Amino acid sequence: MKRHLRAAAAAVILAAAGVHAETVLNVGMSAADVSQLDPDRATTTQDKPLTSWLYNGLVRFKPGSASLETLEPDLAERWESTPDKLTWTFHLRKGVKFHGDFGALTADDVVFSLKRAADSKTSSFSGDYASIESVEALDPSTVRIKLKQAVPFFLGLVTNYHGGMIVSRKAVEKLGDNFRLNPIGTGPFKFEAYKPNESVTFVANKDYFRGAPKIDRIVYRLIPADSARDLAFTSGELDIVYGRQDQKWAERFKKESGVIVDVLRPAELGMLHLNMTVKPLDDKRVRQAIAHAINRQQIVSFKGDLTADPPVSVVPAGYLGTDAKAPLATYDVAKAKALLKEAGFANGITVKAIQSTLPSMLNTAQILQAQLKLAGIDLQLETVDHQTFHANIRKDLSGAVYYTAARFPVADVPLTQFFHSRSIVGTPTAVINFSHCAVADKEIDAARSEPDLAKQKELWATAQKKILDEVCAVPLFEQLQVWAHKSNIDFGYKLVDAIHLGPQITELTTKK
């Protein structure tokens, strides 16, 4: 009570003196450090939210949404495309300034940014931009992009996400490698300071084209210890905190007064990928038996229904092109045993899996192990540390691979990376097709160049059905993102989804 009175008295005195008390937003993240703030290289959970405060795209996800179907203008105020959707013209908003002394945004910056995003030497997302044939500035405020072939939902590539974020050409050329931790964008907040292993500070960009932000400063604190982060949030030293993907954590903070727990999409989809080139998984009946022996509801109950959802397909729910009615195998142990017997394995089978020791992954794998045991399937887990797990599964060394991932929310991305033959691990074009699945290449490729959205969705639905029918992988659960914020924080929009894996702080965000 005394503390509140003192704070109120201080506020009155400051207001009377005409002094503006600085509004500082303290955000706590579960990481020891940030890696980089270059949008073409920022791939980690701790880096991504920051890029959304710093940069804009030509178009943007509505704040609080991860849907591609509700995109809105950002740096481009309007755009048009040819009927074949191979040529796109964007008209830039006038009077947009980069942070610092890097001048006004021009079409040249957009050309530079998109070419940079497409270059594997400077971008981790170059593969996504491989279909771009040319990007040119028609005049200082008009950009034309030509595609080699139609791209599934092209606008997604020029959003305020990954390589779609627009950087200042002058800044990149001047700062060189140092740009990664001295980012220059056009967003509502500009970079102020980076303290290794401690914090990153941002200040309001008073020249922001949508208006000056109401928050003066954001301190992004890097707190790797869960307990310390939780205590700092409880003690009021943090306003927004990265939570734990854990039911008990969500339940505990839901009960605290003045705290709002945010459970957000896009979700990470957990799947068990079955390597169809190794015995006995090369027999479809064996893979079907595994699918029937897995009790998805039990896994979701274990994960907690506040923080996890049952899967709907091999593509996470809510992505553009997810088939919400995909035919998932029913839980039926008797049927699993019958299928094994039919395949000539009446005495059961053994499947080897390289498994990360990361606790959240290992405990799920152990549940799978127990469930499969009931059907006579011995899932042998070869546990290794998380980095070795990543290295070895890419060498095609595992029979089954339990993997969780969130991707750009369009079906093409997970379908191509996990199930297209081009992505099979151990090949020169490998991504993360652990199962050697190749049954839906035709549909995935056709959907990429299909200009009609309805037909495109049909092709993706067929691809998902074929992949599930072939049992390339068994979807297990969807893990949602968990954050929490104090009730005196108003984001200025309805926070439902977080495409950047964290709440977007905009010019409208306030702290009372």
Partner 1 sequence: MLRFVVNRLLLALPTLWAVLTLVFVLVRVVPGDPTIVVLGDQATPEARAALRQRLGLDKPILAQYADFMVQIARGDLGRSLVTNRPITTDVAAVLPYTIELTLAALVIGSLIGVPLGVVAAQKRDGFVDWLARIVSLAGLSFPAFVSGILLLIAFAVELRWFPVISTVTSTDPLSRLRALALPSINLGLIMVAYVTRVTRSGMLKALSDDYVRTARAKGLPNRLVVWRHALRNVLIPIVTVVGLYLGVLIGNAVLTEIVFNRPGLGKLIVSALNQRDYSLLQGLMVVTALAVVVANILTDLTYGLVDPRVKAS
Give the binding site for partner 1 (CB under 8 A).
32-33, 35-36, 41, 43-44, 120-121, 124-127, 177-178, 180-181, 195-199, 221-225, 227-228, 231-232, 234-235, 237, 384-388, 390-391, 405, 407, 417, 428-432
- Judged on CB neighbours under 10 Å (0-12, 13-18, 19+), 452 is exposed
CB of 507 to partner 1, least distance (A): 25
Cα distance between residue 274 and residue 450, in whole Å = 30
- DSSP assignment of 336-379 equals HHHHHHHTT-TT-EEEEEEEE--HHHHHHHHHHHHHHHTTTEEE
Name the residue nearer to partner 1 (CB basis): 120 or 350: 120
Q: Residue 40's CB: how many other CB atoms inside 10 A?
A: 26
397: phi > 0 → left, psi -120 to 50 → alpha, else beta; which?
Answer: alpha
CB of 500 to partner 1, least distance (A): 14
CB of 42 to partner 1, least distance (A): 9
Cα distance between residue 109 and residue 397, in whole Å = 44
CB of 107 to partner 1, least distance (A): 28
Give me the amino acid identity at 399: G
Q: Residue 11's CB: how many other CB atoms inside 10 A?
A: 11
Name the residue nearer to partner 1 (CB basis): 362 or 384: 384
CB of 440 to partner 1, least distance (A): 19
Name the residue nearer to partner 1 (CB basis): 99 or 162: 162
CB of 36 to partner 1, least distance (A): 7
Name the residue nearer to partner 1 (CB basis): 199 or 506: 199
Name the residue nearer to partner 1 (CB basis): 297 or 427: 427
**Helical spans, DSSP H, in 412-481:** 412-419, 441-448, 453-470
As given in the structure block, the two tokens for residue 443 are: 């549909």
- Judged on CB neighbours under 10 Å (0-12, 13-18, 19+), 178 is exposed
Q: Are 208 and 99 in contact (CB under 8 A)?
A: no
Name the residue nearer to partner 1 (CB basis): 119 or 251: 119
CB of 3 to partner 1, least distance (A): 8
Cα distance between residue 457 and residue 447, in whole Å = 8
CB of 477 to partner 1, least distance (A): 19
Name the residue nearer to partner 1 (CB basis): 230 or 450: 230
HSE, side-chain direction, 13 A CA sphere, residue 410: 21
H or E stretch covering 202? strand 199-204
Name the residue nearer to partner 1 (CB basis): 33 or 207: 33
